[in-house]
Structure 1
């Protein structure tokens, strides 16, 4: 055997890939957790769409949560936190404000509105609310008063994204033709331009005043780099609906998608891109557990929430330490598929686990003899975790 194919755990690897981990977190509730948003790098707020006024707050990046109740029947359908103190929310015909990071909310019932689906503020004064039956309203005084805006077509708007006080992008559907709609304005909503497409649209994200994304049914993701003058599309598989699009910078973004082929056992998927949406990689999947919202503070940290009080925390380890231990031999690496683990010293190996680069376990086994062998069929980069009597060892595995 050639020496270049021998790799001890003591070897220092200069370039170690990052591995993402989605971890289930105890929420303390079984409510339907509909929306999550970060107020700061550490603080996050989750709102329930059950008619009981429940919301949750975390101050440690989603590790632990405190349940609050507004003692009302209001539902949270969207939350937009501007900073650690000021935030806005909406639900049905109710507009909500907070000035203490979400611990207390003030509620205003808006006459003449039916169902508020989404809102977005660019500062503490200026923002929009949108919803069903043609609802688009703008405020320039923090919600004390609202100005109704008109797109010129009968519509339901699912989501709105304001780039600044003039450039605003929204998506939804034409309620007469049942087709999808792009909405955009360059003058703060005085005039709206619309474009109809075959697929209904549910989600929107603006990276800047030119680069926008929109997600819709049939797994469609749309992209423009000229403020909606021209659109390209791709299909995200196996998703049937792209429900949320989130970008944290020009290149790094996330999708939350559904696979509703079986309405009694829906699957939810989270995809990640690091190349501005050219390619998407599956980051997380929940089988028979429906997600409703995602939020991220960086490409390496985020949260997801969903049905039955479920919360998942996303974390990427960028400083994974490979523990020095010359008593364990792993070879060949790189490999064409077969990997051997040899226990050469007195420290006993108890088990090992193989994870893909998304952090999902693809194989795990007890270590029953001093020598063990496993096979990986798909090319790529993997993480090998070895549990001994005294420590956990990690090693990067490359399958060519």
Structure 2
């Protein structure tokens, strides 16, 4: 007798190519953050306090500022924000391990130290030309005069790290993500309340409006439609590193698969109800940030910089479609059975991971195998990730197993 039946949908792309292409001529540092002024003018910042600018849509980049460093990873800029084409800020840490904010008022021709303090600045965000916020390890600074002066907000945090990010939606409402908690303020940062429904390893966040937002953790993304009342898991991937929505419906998430040393980008066109891989997999590359000018033109940054001009649309050939009607996972006796049929000819590999990311099974199968039997001694009642590999392409989905 079958019990615990689960339906899983997969799309195999045996031959595919991504419409994200290299656009990093002249870039010689790892890039932590990227910011688009328009489709042609873009700033990128990274290791060794490097600041790059392109005015031709990524065809070439000019290094505007850098500090040679023995420790380029820690002495780096980590976030960038522009108020307009001329005035912008970058934050990070310098060779003396101070948290630093640099500012330009002439489009990056000159960068001047705007503010420094103990610690490491990890994120900066403005809601107007006057009001902005910056995270410095375990505290938040605020400016109300366009960055001329920064003052320390009263509350401190004990779990802020390099990934901490801050985003404000208006003068009052903002969110702060730390290594283990998500916080919300409704009084301009004076007090921050931890959100009870999100107590896990945080990576990044993006809110479309004060109520609708996405927050990532080690193996997935959660969405809220009511501010902080509840979060619902929308997908289950490898580690998401950056989220960006150029419009209310269309969004992109950069993910990093540490186990296989590759990165990939997923896209939604329905406000996160469904997501699709639009890049395939970038082997041995790590992408850390994403920014889109509009729904179609955007960049990802990290190991290098890649660009798309068509929303990351991926063209596939020779597809194997495994849909609801021909892929079922169920428990039968002491075995887990993966039941499917396909018209493919190449072998494939099934990988199964537990919720912590530990691999439980990795095995290659013939494409003509219709039933794959796996001993259920591997499983306890929990959520698992099943991933199928074909021609260096990975496609994943979670399933629930109940004893």
Q: Which residue of 2 aligns with 1:255?
A: 253
Q: Which residue of 1 aligns with 2:262?
A: 267
**Alignment pair present for 1:66 and 2:62:** yes
**Alignment pair present for 1:99 and 2:105:** yes
Q: Spell out, residue by residue over 1:85-104, the C-alpha distance to the aligned partner (whole angstroms, 9 max, x if none).
A: 11111012000111122232
**Alignment pair present for 1:54 and 2:60:** no
Q: Which residue of 2 aligns with 1:352?
A: none
Q: Spell out, residue by residue over 1:316-366, the C-alpha distance to the aligned partner (whole angstroms, 9 max, x if none).
A: 18xxxxxxxxxxxxxxxxxxxxxxxxxxxxxxxxxxxxxxx832565xxxx
Task: Check the 8 A contact 2:172/2:186 in 1, yes or no.
Answer: yes
Task: Check the 8 A contact 2:169/2:210 in 1, yes or no.
Answer: yes
**Alignment pair present for 1:159 and 2:165:** yes
TM-score (norm. length: structure 1): 0.68
Partner of residue 135 from structure 2, selected from 130, 136, 143: 130
C-alpha displacement at 1:166, in angstroms? Answer: 0.9
Q: Which residue of 1 aligns with 2:385?
A: none
Q: Spell out, residue by residue over 1:273-304, the C-alpha distance to the aligned partner (whole angstroms, 9 max, x if none).
A: 00000111111231111112111011100011
For the residue of structure 2 that corresponds to 1:191, the secondary structure is coil
Task: Check the 8 A contact 1:57/1:103 in 2, yes or no.
Answer: no
Partner of residue 169 from structure 1, selected from 149, 171, 175: 175
C-alpha displacement at 1:226, in angstroms? Answer: 1.5
Q: Spell out, residue by residue over 1:54-85, the C-alpha distance to the aligned partner (whole angstroms, 9 max, x if none).
A: 22111122232222234565621100122211
C-alpha displacement at 1:379, in angstroms? Answer: 8.0
Partner of residue 32 from structure 1, selected from 30, 33, 36: 30
When residues 192 and 62 of structure 1 are mapped into structure 2, their CA distance, relative to the original with a 3 A threshold, is: same
C-alpha displacement at 1:269, in angstroms? Answer: 1.3
Q: Which residue of 1 aligns with 2:125?
A: 120
Q: Which residue of 2 aligns with 1:200?
A: 201
Q: Which residue of 1 aligns with 2:7?
A: none
Q: 1:252 & 1:294 partners in 2: Cα distance?
A: 13
Q: 2:18 & 2:59 partners in 1: Cα distance?
A: 16
Task: Check the 8 A contact 1:40/1:83 in 2, yes or no.
Answer: no
Task: Check the 8 A contact 2:52/2:62 in 1, yes or no.
Answer: yes
Q: Which residue of 2 aligns with 1:108?
A: 114
Q: Which residue of 2 aligns with 1:149?
A: 153
Partner of residue 21 from structure 2, selected from 20, 23, 26: 23
What root-mean-square deviation, in Å, do the aligned CA atoms of Structure 1 and Structure 2 show?
2.3
Task: Check the 8 A contact 1:20/1:315 in 2, yes or no.
Answer: no
C-alpha displacement at 1:243, in angstroms? Answer: 1.1
When residues 303 and 98 of structure 1 are mapped into structure 2, their CA distance, relative to the original with a 3 A threshold, is: same
TM-score (norm. length: structure 2): 0.68
Q: Which residue of 2 aligns with 1:233?
A: 233
Partner of residue 309 from structure 2, selected from 311, 315, 323: 315
When residues 103 and 378 of structure 1 are mapped into structure 2, their CA distance, relative to the original with a 3 A threshold, is: farther
Task: Check the 8 A contact 2:64/2:108 in 1, yes or no.
Answer: no
For the residue of structure 1 that corresponds to 2:215, the secondary structure is strand
Q: 1:194 & 1:150 partners in 2: Cα distance?
A: 15
Q: 2:115 & 2:156 partners in 1: Cα distance?
A: 26
Q: 2:83 & 2:190 partners in 1: Cα distance?
A: 24
**Alignment pair present for 1:277 and 2:277:** no
Partner of residue 320 from structure 2, selected from 377, 381, 387: 377
Q: 2:46 & 2:149 partners in 1: Cα distance?
A: 26
